[in-house]
Amino acid sequence: MKAKDMREMSASELNQKLADLKAELFNLRFQHAVNQLENPMRLGAVKKDIARVRTLIRENELKSAQ
Task: Sketch out the chain's domains with CATH numbers.
Answer: 3-65 (1.10.287.310)
Low-confidence residues in the chain, pLDDT < 70: 1
pLDDT of 23: 98
pLDDT of 15: 96
This prediction's pTM: 0.90
Note whether 53 and 18 are within 8 A (CB). yes
In angstroms, rounded to a whole number, what is the distance separating the alpha carbons of residues 13 and 16? 5
